[in-house]
Amino acid sequence: MHVAVMGAGYVGLVTAGGLADLGLMVTSADINQERIQRLGEGKVPIFEPGLEELVRRNTQAGRLSFSADIQSAVRNSLVIFIAVGTNGGLNGEPDLSQIWSVADSIADSMEDYKVIVTKSTVPVGTAAQLRERISSRLERPVEFDVVSNPEFLREGSAVEDFFHPNRIVIGSPSGRAVGIMKDIYQRLYLNETPFVITTCETAELTKYAANSFLALKISFINELANLCDAIGPCTDIHVIGRALGLDGRIGSKFLHPGPGFGGYCFPKDTRALCTTARKFGVNVRTVEAAVEVNESQYLRVVEKVRQGLGGLADKTVSVLGLSFKPNTDDVRESRAVRICEALRSEGCTLQVYDPVAMAASASVLNGHAVKYCANAYEAAEGADALVTATEWNEFRALNLEKLKAGMRGDLLVDAKNAMDAAKAKEAGFRYYGMGRR
Ligand SMILES: NC(=O)c1ccc[n+]([C@@H]2O[C@H](COP(=O)([O-])OP(=O)(O)OC[C@H]3O[C@@H](n4cnc5c(N)ncnc54)[C@H](O)[C@@H]3O)[C@@H](O)[C@H]2O)c1
């Protein structure tokens, strides 16, 4: 079976590589010609563990190819996955311009039956609008079905998630299309991956529900951490999080405090759910509260630096970790970047280091008052304070004595509680964590 994946970004590339590995003939298509050219040369433009190997293996096997010619990719495929961006737009409404642009290209090239699958995260009703838009643009009647197949992968473990998803949600009114989708994912089904077959609308809403629920957990534990900070060192958010997590009804994931949720998905998807709900005359107050809590959570970190240094003007602060989470170079809506921007706007000079996100963050932070360093020790050199903003594993293994010895000051603000507080104190740091001191 030939399939096309529109959009060669974090989701599209992993999907294309994964589907090829399942034995399908896959064209990964993107309007970004430079990206396609680099992929053709074997260069994967994003950092995602295991992706380079997945792409290389399937390109060499002749199952995966790259193209900027969207129309021929459509013509040659039975199934077309749409994995383009759906950026957060005005008032929380997602900007669907990339979806409509792909839809038009599909309509202009369709000659025979196609299954058109939205993998991008899109609001309720988008599949119906997609069907309508394509139908009205076709010059002659061509049969096609629309499927909503939302993606749940996590950046940083996206390849692993593709092959071992918790579930595959397929929304479509067409038995024929559902059959084709099941056929595609059959290898995963044999691994007993559960399918949830439903309407397009339910599938669309499920994706927003999943991200919003996880966001709720994050904002909840962050508020509890803030409460622990206010009560004092007799409380420890880690102990509370662990005790909560041992309750099977609650679960242990997403109960780690920090500077708030960031990344491409949670901020825009929570806002989009609130906007959708309001359109239908409903307030999802829990999600609205999670968003509101998140807006200011990163400022708690900035406040800890201010308190620890007795002011921020003319201070040098070292920030370790710039991506929105470990194991990715994605800095979209990264709280680490927000922390940097806030510190800089208050007069700090920054010395930053991230294992893979330096180039990406340079494009959002620009050069002013930021020194990009080759490693954590260089970043700490001469700094008044050190902030760990992303919990990369390599930071846990740092030699804290060496780090401290190079600094001018002794403040460590551990925004992800990633460091060993006792060892940090032994090394001479004044340690400020989140909800633990
Ligand atoms: N990143 C994640 O962790 C994640 C997880 C689950 C779902 N999603 C959803 O998946 C979608 C894609 O996210 P992403 O992070 O992969 O985005 P991305 O920005 O990394 O990739 C989008 C790609 O689409 C390409 N594109 C834009 N218009 C196009 C067109 N008309 N034709 C072909 N290609 C086009 C862009 O050039 C880009 O390479 C979004 O809706 C997102 O919400 C993302």
State whether the Cα torsion 257-260-262-265 is positive or negative. Answer: positive
At residue 142, the 3 state secondary structure works out as: coil
Active site residues: 265
The residue contributing the CA closest to ligand 1 atom 33 is 30
For residue 84, being part of any structural domain is answered with yes
For residue 437, being part of any structural domain is answered with no
- Is residue 410's pLDDT more than 90? yes
- Is 182 found in the same domain as 288? no
Instruction: Give the pLDDT confidence score for residue 340 in this predicted structure.
Output: 97
Count up the domains in the chain and report the number. Answer: 2
Average pLDDT, the chain: 96
Q: Which atom of ligand 1 is nearest to the CA of 46?
A: 20
Residue with token string 């090394």 = 427
For residue 405, being part of any structural domain is answered with yes
Which of 197, 219, 250 finishes a domain? 197
Which band of pLDDT confidence, cut at 50, 70 and 90, is reported for residue 188?
Answer: confident
83: Cβ below 6 Å to ligand 1? yes
DSSP 325: S
The residue contributing the CA closest to ligand 1 atom 36 is 7
- Is 419 found in the same domain as 399? yes
State whether the Cα torsion 31-366-266-242 is positive or negative. Answer: positive
State whether the Cα torsion 75-81-84-86 is positive or negative. Answer: positive
71: Cβ below 6 Å to ligand 1? no
- The per-residue pLDDT for range 227-283, each reduced to its tens digit, is 999 999 999 999 999 999 999 999 999 999 999 999 999 999 999 999 999 999 999
Q: Which atom of ligand 1 is nearest to the CA of 13?
A: 16
70: Cβ below 6 Å to ligand 1? yes
Ligand 1 center to residue 357 CA distance, Å?
Answer: 18
How crowded is residue 139: how many other Cβ atoms within 10 Å of its Cβ? 8
- Is 233 found in the same domain as 164? no
- The per-residue pLDDT for range 297-311, each reduced to its tens digit, is 999 999 999 999 999
For residue 137, being part of any structural domain is answered with yes
11: Cβ below 6 Å to ligand 1? yes
Model pTM score = 0.96
Provide the domain limits for residue 103.
Answer: 2-197
For residue 217, being part of any structural domain is answered with yes
| CATH number for the domain that contains residue 170 | 3.40.50.720
Instruction: Give the pLDDT confidence score for residue 91 in this predicted structure.
Output: 86
211: Cβ below 6 Å to ligand 1? no
For residue 365, being part of any structural domain is answered with yes
- Is residue 437's pLDDT more than 80? no
Report phi then psi at 30, rounded to 5.
Answer: -150, 150
- The per-residue pLDDT for range 354-403, each reduced to its tens digit, is 999 999 999 899 878 899 999 999 999 999 999 999 999 999 999 999 99
For residue 202, being part of any structural domain is answered with no
- The per-residue pLDDT for range 269-303, each reduced to its tens digit, is 999 999 999 999 999 999 999 999 999 999 999 99
Which of 164, 197, 230 finishes a domain? 197
State whether the Cα torsion 170-174-175-179 is positive or negative. Answer: negative
Distance CA 198, CA 84 (A): 23
Instruction: Using a pLDDT cut of 70, give the percent of the chain over it.
Output: 100
Ligand 1 center to residue 126 CA distance, Å?
Answer: 16
